[in-house]
Amino acid sequence: MSAAGMVILSPDGLLLRLVENASVWDVIFYRSIFLSMVLGGYLLYRHRLGIISIWQRMGKTEALAVILMTGSNLSFVGAIANTSVANTLVILATMPLFSAILGWLIIGEPVKPRTWVSIVLAITGIIIIFSGSMGGGNWLGDTLALATAFQQGLNLVVIRKAKERDIMMPALCMSGLLAAALVVPFAEPMSVNAHDLGVLVLMGAIIVPIALVLFLGGARHAPAAEVALLSLIETVLGPLWAWIGVNEMPDVLSFIGGFVVIIAVATNAWLGIRSRHIPING
């Protein structure tokens, strides 16, 4: 489920590039409101009249998840608008490392030495990417991508802290509404042309909700290391879609930095999977 979700989500950056005239605010508004409409419709179908109790049960943990999801939604679109798809997705690949650090600090999950080594390597890769972006004015987009990775990593810790409580779907739905409400004063949704609206419908009403439901649904049943490894599918396929779709060729430093980040995160996740394999005697 998680792997399928990442494959489905991988063209997200390309679709944002295919938007012709809509502003960043318009993109965030429609992307968010469509996401909320689809997830809200699903929750209504699943729970019927019981849907009211879902919102009544939301506490501080759910509220924090909503804030983090809203912030990562805003910063992701801002990153794509201000730097390359490759840079954005490669920097987002540090999300599992942020999750490891924050999990250690907040809920006391131990971080193994190999994870610290991976963190140092990933930071090195990010520095390489940033060094190539400074001259091209892409530092803002790279910073927003890093902020997105941080927020998503912290959100995973919040979800793990919630344990058996299923907070993802309601929190995702609410975060879409909040993001749309925050940007609507700056957006001009009625001015979006038919082409851009079609792209945003495909993105917000189909690709993003299906991908996130699959990915997060799988994350409830698979070890964190495996899910982290599967999240790299988007990192690898996303720039490929952008290269094929809009001929956005990553520069040399992005390739080098991206390679370092991917190797660091993938190696850490792979070793984590191996450490979970317990031999069965007899």
Tell me what pLDDT residue 133 has: 61
- Helix or strand (DSSP H, E) at 71: helix 60-82
Residue 147: closest CA among 84, 75, 90: 75
Q: Which amino acid is at 251?
A: D
What are the tens digits of pLDDT across the range 47-74?
Answer: 776 777 776 677 788 888 889 989 998 8
Higher pLDDT, 119 or 250: 119
The mean predicted confidence, pLDDT, of the chain is: 80
Distance CA 252, CA 239 (A): 13
Tell me what pLDDT residue 280 has: 45
Radius of gyration for the alpha carbons in the chain, expressed in angstroms and rounded: 19
Tokens of 161: 């802290």
Distance CA 148, CA 93 (A): 10
Residue 109: closest CA among 156, 171, 168, 64: 156
Tell me what pLDDT residue 282 has: 44
What are the tens digits of pLDDT across the range 123-166?
Answer: 788 778 777 665 555 788 889 999 999 998 888 788 777 665 56
Distance CA 233, CA 227 (A): 10
| Banded model confidence at residue 34, pLDDT cuts 50, 70, 90 | very high
- If you average pLDDT over residues 254-259, what whole number do you get? 79
Tell me what pLDDT residue 168 has: 73
* CB contact set of 185 (below 8 Å; sequence gap of 6+): none
Note if the pTM is more than 0.85: no
Using CB atoms within 10 Å of the CB of residue 197, give its burial: 0 to 12 exposed, 13 to 18 middle, 19+ buried. Answer: middle
Tell me what pLDDT residue 94 has: 82
What are the tens digits of pLDDT across the range 183-234?
Answer: 999 989 899 999 999 999 999 999 988 988 787 776 666 655 566 667 777 7
Tell me what pLDDT residue 227 has: 65
Tokens of 240: 């490929």
Tokens of 203: 């993105």
The single-letter DSSP state of residue 281 is -
